[in-house]
Amino acid sequence: MPNVAPSTEYYTDIDVREDEILRSDPKLLRLLLADKTTGGNILWATSDYASMGMQYNANAQILPELITGENKLLIRPRISKEKAEKASRTREKAEVFTPAWVCNKQNNLVDAAWFGRFGVFNTETEKGWIENSEPIVFDDPKKPWNKYVDAQRLEITCGEAPYLVSRYDTVTGEKLPLQRRIGLLDRKLRVVGENTTSEEGWCKWAQRAFESVYGYEYQGDNLLLARENLLFTYIDYYIARFGKAPSAKLPHKIALIISWNIWQMDGLKFVVPNSCFEEPIQNDQIRWDIVDNEMTVSEQVEMTAHCPGCSSGNIYKHNGIYCRIQDWRGKSSKRFVDMIRKEKGNGNK
């Protein structure tokens, strides 16, 4: 096991190099590919790579050897993809990424609701922002800084997770220095840095910040990019604070949290992509023959039916694998769909 975690040398420009992670720390890459619901790896969940063979089909798992070595440049941020590929994904999967200045505006609305005022982290300009360099003020005694760090946030259909972390602008490809970052997790890590004095304190609350943010994505390549962006955001902030790369066990701990909190899901069904299936059903239609003047059963017709949830549109009746996420304060995993049920009351049962 390596003594030191991967540092900024493991990515050039905005792209993290899976090949280098595998070479230095195979466990770290395995954690980033893990699916905590199924116990296996996340799926490709896209046909974009199917021409490369069966192991790249939509329902196949993403394995380390498939994205490293000769294929080390296979997984790339959207900005680095070919124009035709981007257009295809937009057309078939409605994949549209949001520029950083729009993410900032929407994240500012979230914080304005929490703080009760605007302009907490930055002042918006036309298609940009001016960062607030002064420490963040928590003037409500009922809402201290640690409650802000613990406040749960969710980015739906997260893509490369630009609302959670902003290592780069997903539309322009511009790299953003730490002081310019506007993601919801970036803001929490900034608050942690301003309110802790020791490495132990920083590590504790940085971990809690990661435990508080969630996101789900359908396509496996995007999901891996999102997870990498969160992990290397942690490393960026650690290096900036302490002037060294963290020991390997810290990113392993953070990667485990990320593998639970940034998960793969069909956002319309709340199940693992393509996990619903046709079910055999009991059929009352029986074929009869007359043998020696008596009616006998010659064949029972076999029939199947589509997934009950897919057929009815009832999100609680799918026969696929319902996704689970971790409740870090309660120290237990829960089906995400049950949290939707709780929010809706009795809902559509």
Nearest to 283 by CA among 270, 269, 299, 267: 299
What stretch of H or E contains 124?
Answer: strand 122-125
CA 231 to chain centroid: 12
Question: 224 and 295 in one domain?
Answer: no
Question: 105 and 80 in one domain?
Answer: yes
Give the span between the Cα atoms of 169 and 137, in whole angstroms: 27
Q: What is the pLDDT of residues 166-189, one digit of tens each?
A: 999 999 999 999 999 999 999 999
pLDDT band at 94 (very low <50, low <70, confident <90, very high): low
- Give the DSSP letter of residue 320: S
Give the span between the Cα atoms of 94 and 73, in whole angstroms: 24
Cβ-contact 186, 122 below 8 angstroms = no
Q: For the chain, what is the domain count? A: 2
At 262, is the secondary structure helix, strand, or coil?
strand
Residue 342 lies in a domain: yes
Strands 286-291 and 213-217: unpaired
Residue 270 lies in a domain: no
Question: 37 and 186 in one domain?
Answer: yes
- Give the DSSP letter of residue 175: B
Question: 303 and 260 in one domain?
Answer: no
Question: 324 and 205 in one domain?
Answer: no
Question: 234 and 306 in one domain?
Answer: no
Q: Which residue has the higher pLDDT, 292 or 18?
A: 18
Question: 298 and 200 in one domain?
Answer: no
Residue-range definition of the domain harbouring residue 337: 279-349
pLDDT at 291 over 90: no
Residue 269 lies in a domain: no
Residue 271 lies in a domain: no
Q: What is the pLDDT of residues 296-330, one digit of tens each?
A: 555 555 667 899 999 999 999 999 999 999 999 99
Q: What is the pLDDT of residues 224-241, one digit of tens each?
A: 999 999 999 999 999 999
Cβ-contact 187, 202 below 8 angstroms = no
pLDDT band at 83 (very low <50, low <70, confident <90, very high): low
Q: At a CB cut-off of 8 Å and minimum separation 6, what does 188 contact?
A: 148, 149, 209, 212, 213
